[in-house]
Structure 1
Amino acid sequence: MDTSKGFIVFLAIVVVFISTSTSESVDDDSSYWTDGTLEKALANISIHEVPPKSEPARAWGNVLPSGEFTCSTAGSKEIPTSVHQLQPGDIKVIGAIGDSITAANGALSETVPAVLLQYRGVSWSIGGDESLPENPTLTNILRQYNPDLYGYSVGIARTKSRRAHFNVAVPGAKAIGLEGQAQNLVAKIKEDPEVDIESDWKIVTIFIGGNDLCQSCKKPEERTAENYVANIEKALKVLHDELPRTFVNLVGILNIASIRELRTPVCFALHLVECPCPLGSQLRLEKVVHLNKQYQAFLQSTIESGKYDNKEDFTVVYQPMFHNSDVPRLETGAPDLSFFAPDCFHFSAIGHAAGAIALWNNMIQPVGSKDTVWDYKSIRCPKLDFPYFYTNINSAPDYQTRYFNEKQSLERNFKKEPMLQDEHIFALPSEDHDSLSGGAVASITIGVLVVICCAVIVAVVIRQKRFFRNEYIKV
C-alpha cells in the first residue's frame, strides 16, 4: 500500500468515525463498531488489508520458560457444592460479557481497518484458539486443569456467531447495556444441550466501563459512578437469579487517561473519535480521572460489601489488577505499542495475554491482598494447601483458620484409620469401645464368675453321685 492510498483509507476512517460519533447512535447500546456504517464504507475501498483468520499470540517465553505448565492440576475428589471451595478443574463452562476489549477487536490486526474485526479466539477472558504456550488466555489456563472446558470463543466472530459461543460482549457497549448481555448469556447457556445448568460449575468474567469514561464529558449526568454501578448490578442480578453454580469475575476498569501517552499521529486522530474526553483540557482530564477512580472505588465497595454472598453456589469477586496499572513500557521508558492494536486503544494479542495472566493471578489471591497492577510476567500457581479460587468469604481469617483446623483433624483421623479398619467392619461404634472400661467390663466379669461357679457346682454334684453309687455297690 503506497502512502497516498494509505492516507485515503485513513481519511475515510476518520470521516466515518466523526460522522458516527456525532450522531445519537453513539450513545445507544449499539455503536459505530456494530452498526455496519464503517464496514460499508471500507467495503468500497479495495486497498485495505485484513488477515484471513485468527493466528496464535506472540512468543511468551517469559511466561512458560520450560514450555510446560508446572502447576499441580490435581482437582477436587468430589464436585464441590460450595463456591468457596471451587478449584480450577471444577469449572466446566466459561462465559464473558463486556465491550470491544472482551470482543478482542483488532487483537491480531496489522492495519487500522482490521481493528473492526473481532478476534474472539484470543480474547483475554474467554478466547480458546491454540493452546497455552501460543495463546495465554483464561480459557487456555483453565484447560490445563479441565481439557473439556466448554463455552469459549474461537477465531474471528461477531456477537451472534456460533464461534463466539458464550462470549456475548458487544463492541462499543456501555454499562447501561450490560443487563441485556447478561440475559443473552443466560438464554444461550440454558438453550445449550451440552450444559447441565444445575450441576456444571460456570465462570463468567465481566469488564465494562471504558466507553462510559470515554464519553463521560458528553452526557455527564448519565455517566455518574452511581449509574455505572447500578447498571452493573442489574446484570449481576440476572446472573445471580438465573445461573446456579457460578463464579463471577468483575474486573475493575483501567486508567483510561493513559491513552494520552499513546500518541502516534494516526492514533491521536482516532482517539479524538474513539475516546475524546481524556484528551481535552486539563480541567476535563481531571474530571475523567476523578470519575475513573470513583468507578473503581464504588464498584469494589459494592461487591466486597457481601451483597452477592447470600448463596452457597454463587459469588461475585472484584478483581482490581488494572486499578494502578500503567502503560507497558520499553527499556527506554517509551510506551510499548506491541501491547496494543493499530489504533493504540484496543489490546493486541500480547495485551490480551497479559490481561489474562493478570486476571488469573488475581483470582488465586485473597480478597484484600490482590495485586492492583497487572502482573503478567509469569503464571502463578494456586497454593497446594488452599487450592481454591478466593472469594469474599473464604478470604476471611476465620474461614482460613476453620478450614485448616478441619483439614488437620481429617488428616489425623486418616492416619489412625488403617489400624481401626478391621474393627470398624463389624460396626461397633467408637463410643462402645470406650464404654468397655466401665459397666460393660463389670458385666462381663460377673458373667464369667457365674459360669465358673456353675461349673464347680456341677462338678461337685457329679462327684457326690459317684460316691453314693460306689457305697451302694459295697453294701
Structure 2
Amino acid sequence: MVQNKLIKVAMVALAAALPAQFATAHQYASNIAECPQLPARTTPPAGPHDLRPDDIKVIAAMGDSIMAGFALEGVNDGEGGTGILNVSSITEYRGQSWGIGGDEGAITLGNFVKHYNASSEGQSKGSHLATICHGLLCLDMFRNSEKDVLNAALSGGLAMNLDDELDYLIPRMKEIPDVNFETDWKLITIQIGSNDQCASCLNPFSGEVTVDKYTGYVEAAVERIKKEVPRVLVNLVGSFNVSAVYGLTKGQEYCRPLFNNPDAILNRVECSCFLFDDEARSNMDVLSDGYNDGLVNIYNKYKDQESDTFAVRYTPARIDIAGFPLEGMSNMDCFHPGKLVHQWVAKADEQIYCPNENDRFRVD
C-alpha cells in the first residue's frame, strides 16, 4: 500500500484545481460525480480572480509527453507486439492526461471542469500514435486534431517548442463551433521542462535549455497568449527534479531492462544525462530549480499586468520522484508517469475536494 504522505506529495502538482479558500464545511468525494453541482451564479465573473470551475468554458493544455499522456498505459505484451515494439510503447493516451483528458471516467482536470460545466470544450480524447518533437524538428503535421482537441502538447517537446504548440492551439480554439472565442473564459495549463533538463547533456541542445533560454521561451508564450487569447487564466505548473528517476529505477525488473543489464533501461536513452555521471544529474536539479525561479519571475511580472480578462498563476510541482511507488511509472520505460500518477496529480489529494459556490481559482 502506498503511504499517504507519498500520495499527497505526488498530487500537489495541480493546485490550480483547488479553491482559493475552503469553506467551513469541507466536502470531499472519491469520484467527481459524487460532488454536488454548484448553484447558478447570479452575476457573471468579474475577472480571472472571480472564476469558479463552472465559469470555465474552454480548457487547454501545453507541454511535453507528460501532458500528452505518452505511454500512460504501459506495455501489455499480449497486444500489439512484444516488449518495446508493442504499439502501446509509442502511443499517447491523451484522453487520460491529468491536465486535460476527457475520456469517460478518467480522473483528470478536464473531466472535473466538465462535471461543473457540461458545455465546456477542449478536453482531449482517446489515444493515437505519438506526435514527436526533437529540437526544432516537430512532426506536428501528424496531429489528430479530433482527438487532441485543445491538448497542444508534443512528446519530446522543449520550452523552445511552445510557440509551435500555440500555432496549433490558437487556431484550433477559434474553430470549435460552440466556443465564443472573444467572450468565453479559458484555462490554459502549461507544464514543461523535463526534456529540457535531460537535453542539458546533449549537444547541440544544451545551449537552448539554460535557465535564461527556458524562461525566455515560456515568457514569450505567455506574452503571445496575452495578446491573442481574450479572457484567459494561464496556469504555469512548476518543474520537478527528473534526475531522481535514475536512482528509483536502477536495477528494477519492473522497468524491463534489456539483456538483464540493470542499466539497460529505456529511460537511459530518453534522458541523455542518465548516461553521464552524478555531476550531470546534479546539474539537472540546478536547472530545475532555476526554471522554477524563472516561472515565479514570470508570474510576478504579469501579476502587475493583470486585467479583467487576463491573469497568470504559478503552481509549484512539489513532487518527490524518489518517493514514488515504482508502479506509478509506466513500465514501458520507467520514465513517463503511468495512469496512477496522472490520477494523483489531477486530484491533488487522496480524495477530490468538492468546491462550493464561494470558492474561486487561486491567482495569488
TM-score range for the pair, normalised by the shorter chain length = 0.7 to 0.9
Alignment length (residue pairs): 303
Q: Which residue of the other structure, out of 378, 388, 393, is the alignment partner of 2:351?
A: 378
The answer on 1:283 being equivalent to 2:279 is yes
* Matching residue of 2:17: none
The answer on 1:84 being equivalent to 2:70 is no
Greater Cα shift, 84-93 or 294-303: 294-303
Distance 1:325 1:381 in 2: 26
Q: Which residue of the other structure, out of 213, 217, 236, is the alignment partner of 1:231?
A: 217
The answer on 1:355 being equivalent to 2:328 is no
Q: Do the aligned residues in 1 keep the contact of 2:31 with 2:352 (CA within 8 Å)?
A: no
Question: Cα–Cα, structure 1 residues 355 and 341, in superposed 2: closer, same or farther, change >3 Å?
Answer: farther
Greater Cα shift, 119-128 or 261-270: 261-270
* Matching residue of 2:227: 241
Give TM-score, length-normalised by structure 2: 0.77
Post-superposition offset of 1:78: 2.6
Question: Cα–Cα, structure 1 residues 308 and 124, in superposed 2: closer, same or farther, change >3 Å?
Answer: farther
* Matching residue of 2:294: 298
Post-superposition offset of 1:239: 0.9
Q: Which residue of the other structure, out of 233, 239, 242, is the alignment partner of 1:256?
A: 242
- Structure with more contact order per residue of length (Cα contacts < 8 Å, sep ≥ 6): 2
Letter of the 1:88 counterpart: P
Q: Do the aligned residues in 2 keep the contact of 1:115 with 1:341 (CA within 8 Å)?
A: no
Identity of aligned residues (%): 32
Distance 1:65 1:218 in 2: 43
Post-superposition offset of 1:192: 2.5
Post-superposition offset of 1:75: 4.3
Instruction: Trace 1:275-354 onto structure 2 (pairs within 5 A).
Output: 275-307=271-303, 309-320=305-316, 322-329=317-324, 335-354=325-344
Instruction: Give the superposed CA RMSD.
Output: 2.2
Question: Cα–Cα, structure 1 residues 341 and 125, in superposed 2: closer, same or farther, change >3 Å?
Answer: farther
* Matching residue of 2:16: none
Question: Cα–Cα, structure 1 residues 325 and 305, in superposed 2: closer, same or farther, change >3 Å?
Answer: farther
Q: Which residue of the other structure, out of 96, 103, 125, is the alignment partner of 1:154?
A: 125
Question: Cα–Cα, structure 1 residues 68 and 190, in superposed 2: closer, same or farther, change >3 Å?
Answer: closer
* Matching residue of 1:115: 89
Q: Do the aligned residues in 1 keep the contact of 2:32 with 2:112 (CA within 8 Å)?
A: no
Distance 1:306 1:258 in 2: 32
Post-superposition offset of 1:122: 0.4
* Matching residue of 2:360: 388
The answer on 1:274 being equivalent to 2:264 is no
Distance 1:68 1:163 in 2: 23
Distance 2:181 2:305 in 1: 20
Post-superposition offset of 1:71: 5.4
Q: Do the aligned residues in 1 keep the contact of 2:269 with 2:275 (CA within 8 Å)?
A: no
2:189 match: secondary structure: strand
Please identify which structure carries the higher strand content: 2
Point out where structure 1 has 5 or more consecutive residues left out of the alignment: 1-62, 330-334, 359-375, 393-475
Post-superposition offset of 1:336: 3.0
Q: Do the aligned residues in 1 keep the contact of 2:30 with 2:352 (CA within 8 Å)?
A: no
Give TM-score, length-normalised by structure 1: 0.60
Question: Cα–Cα, structure 1 residues 341 and 246, in superposed 2: closer, same or farther, change >3 Å?
Answer: farther
Distance 1:216 1:130 in 2: 38
Q: Do the aligned residues in 1 keep the contact of 2:302 with 2:312 (CA within 8 Å)?
A: no
The answer on 1:213 being equivalent to 2:213 is no
Q: Do the aligned residues in 1 keep the contact of 2:233 with 2:310 (CA within 8 Å)?
A: yes
Distance 2:306 2:165 in 1: 23
Question: Cα–Cα, structure 1 residues 75 and 205, in superposed 2: closer, same or farther, change >3 Å?
Answer: farther
Letter of the 2:152 counterpart: V
Q: Do the aligned residues in 2 keep the contact of 1:73 with 1:144 (CA within 8 Å)?
A: no
Post-superposition offset of 1:306: 3.4
Question: Cα–Cα, structure 1 residues 129 and 93, in superposed 2: closer, same or farther, change >3 Å?
Answer: same
Distance 1:77 1:181 in 2: 36
Q: Do the aligned residues in 2 keep the contact of 1:341 with 1:347 (CA within 8 Å)?
A: no
Point out where structure 2 has 5 or more consecutive residues left out of the alignment: 1-27, 77-83, 132-142, 258-262
Letter of the 1:130 counterpart: E
